[in-house]
Structure 1
């Protein structure tokens, strides 16, 4: 069934706004070319977006002939203000930005493991409030939160996970209680994949898998341009994947014996020591034998994912993927080619430590965009 006129208008408006966000100010002619819409349709959507207060004329193009097509249209950056939080086991990072994603202020705060739950929550909320004030922002429209753990697809809340601080679960409800803003929470690995797809290493990929390699191990699955979360929000929990060379089999309550045991941060450090290298610095050293050994381990888990999903591209992210860079990615790709007949390119993260924050900011920006758009019809 074809879309109704109002639905078609809403789809066109969202597409045009995404182009203006990603490509910068554009003329009506450029919007016509990029959207494939007719000139009258583009003129109508530009008028709607201007009327909504989301778009304005920000200048003129270099065209010699002056007229409507020479005007440059751009996002009204201060139409809404956004925030993103990257919640980790040992602390939280915050960024406050405008609707274009331009950073206005940022901060980070370590939170010790011995901190009481309510005290940790208060510190994190206060950090966001303080950073918002430093940015000169009176009110946040949307806040995106990236955190380890599973997100319940039914409730949108962070599920309880063993090994994670209790304050993680309390933080989002506290933000929702304290802030007159939309607060969204998503798994950190999923947000990193969104950021890599729109801004980083996977910009040219509709289908790929991101492997998150840090203290925890996980994956994000993007198929046909869409992030796939699974029935319970657990798609990509490859830390529990049983693999040879581990202590046994993982269980429902722990991933000892799974892929996690081979490639988590502690395992990488132990492997470095066995190669006579300092933990934490081995990846940066470029030591060939160490990188070869780590690549062998990573390829085992990657091969299992590739054999099921055939993503065509795997992005190595998290602290290990970032530190290992192109040298590690090339080695994993070589070993993966020997394990699987499915051709798969392996790339290093392009966003590094900023991937989760950028993904959370994109989530906040998308939420603001949907809320601020004129209603269809």
Structure 2
């Protein structure tokens, strides 16, 4: 059944807008060539999108003579301003961008929730307000938030999770109250890191992969056939609860002690480094466990080598379980510890995994560093805003 005229117009408009997003400003003739649409159809969509305020003339093409055919059309980037947040137990980072994703302002603030939930929320909201003001954003269209914990896949709310501060949940409500016109969405931080690695990082060439988050907490994000899989309750990838050998007990429904977290989380990594005599400065810019791994990677002493081997032995316990169930073909080591270990740690894990599993799996280090969660939050906010704005109403 052929599409109705209104549906066809919407499809053509979105196609043109996505081309302008990817290619930058284009002439009507170039849009015609790239879309395969007729000259009158392109002229109509250019007029519609200009009247709707989504595109405008940005200049003239040097390859054309001056006149109507030389006009370059580009997306009105300031049509919508976006904010992305990375919410951690110890603080918040934020960036504000335009509709094309160009970062206009960014900042971060440490938060000590010992001062109370209210002050913690106020600090975080104030950070976002200051970043929006610096960016020249009079209002925010979409706010994307990355946070640890379970996200309800049906309603999108951050669920109660043991060990997480109360201000995390309160912050989302406070941001919606502060920016009442904004679309506020929250996603698990590990899932956002995976989306960013898939779009711009270590998994750009993979439709199926698993991101293993190694940091203060342990988690995994599962991408199958190009789609992020959250699970029925939003708990897909809660690998910290995975029972593994080498622990004193078993995890429970409310405590991952005794699970994979107990052998590969930050506390366990710090203790393992101490056993091997590996040290690092206490006042560095990254978490201490990550600093220990980075120092070991930089060094060549036998103690550092033994520490990295022992750490890889632990990580492969969780990695092998993921591979045996999902056969993803690719694992990305992320989080503070995964990033600090880089290719050196990834290579050790891949070597051990090849001995344990018949399923060929490439292990890669994160390519986006500490900005993966913020990048993922920005990408999801931008996609959400563009999905709404790039579907202009009929005239």
The question of a shared fold, defined as TM-score above 0.5 by the shorter chain, is answered with yes
Say which SS state the counterpart of residue 108 (structure 1) adopts: strand
CA distance, structure 2, for counterparts of residue 78 and residue 135 of structure 1: 10
- Is 2:256 the partner of 1:239? no
Structure 1 position 177, deviation (Å)? 1.3
CA distance, structure 2, for counterparts of residue 124 and residue 246 of structure 1: 37
Which structure has the larger Rg?
2
Say which SS state the counterpart of residue 124 (structure 1) adopts: helix
Answer whether contact 2:14 2:391 (CA < 8 A) is retained: no
Answer whether contact 1:149 1:161 (CA < 8 A) is retained: yes
5 Å-filtered alignment, 1:117-266, equals 117-179=117-179, 180-266=181-267
Which residue number in structure 2 is paired with residue 296 of structure 1?
Answer: 313
Corresponding residue to 2:323 among 285, 306, 309: 306
- Is 2:300 the partner of 1:283? no
CA distance, structure 2, for counterparts of residue 30 and residue 335 of structure 1: 52
Unpaired runs of at least 5, structure 2: 281-287, 298-303
Between the two proteins, the alignment pairs up a number of residues equal to 376
Which residue number in structure 1 is paired with residue 348 of structure 2?
Answer: 331
CA distance, structure 2, for counterparts of residue 339 and residue 100 of structure 1: 45
Structure 1 position 62, deviation (Å)? 5.8
Given the two structures, how large is their TM-score scaled by the length of structure 2?
A: 0.87
CA distance, structure 2, for counterparts of residue 32 and residue 196 of structure 1: 33
1:69/1:234 Cα in 2 relative to 1: closer, same or farther (>3 Å)? Answer: farther
Of residues 146-155 and 364-373 in structure 1, the stretch that sits farther from structure 2 once superposed is 364-373
CA distance, structure 1, for counterparts of residue 225 and residue 12 of structure 2: 20
Say which SS state the counterpart of residue 113 (structure 2) adopts: coil
Answer whether contact 1:315 1:347 (CA < 8 A) is retained: yes
- Is 2:95 the partner of 1:95? yes
Cα displacement string for residues 182-224 of structure 1 (whole angstroms, at most 9, x for unaligned residues): 1111111111111111121111211111111111111111111
Given the two structures, how large is their TM-score scaled by the length of structure 1?
A: 0.91
Structure 1 position 74, deviation (Å)? 2.9
Which residue number in structure 2 is paired with residue 348 of structure 1?
Answer: 365
Structure 1 position 357, deviation (Å)? 0.8
CA distance, structure 2, for counterparts of residue 152 and residue 208 of structure 1: 22
Answer whether contact 2:113 2:120 (CA < 8 A) is retained: no
| Structure 1 vs Structure 2 CA RMSD | 2.5
Unpaired runs of at least 5, structure 1: none
Which residue number in structure 1 is paired with residue 105 of structure 2?
Answer: 105
1:336/1:68 Cα in 2 relative to 1: closer, same or farther (>3 Å)? Answer: farther
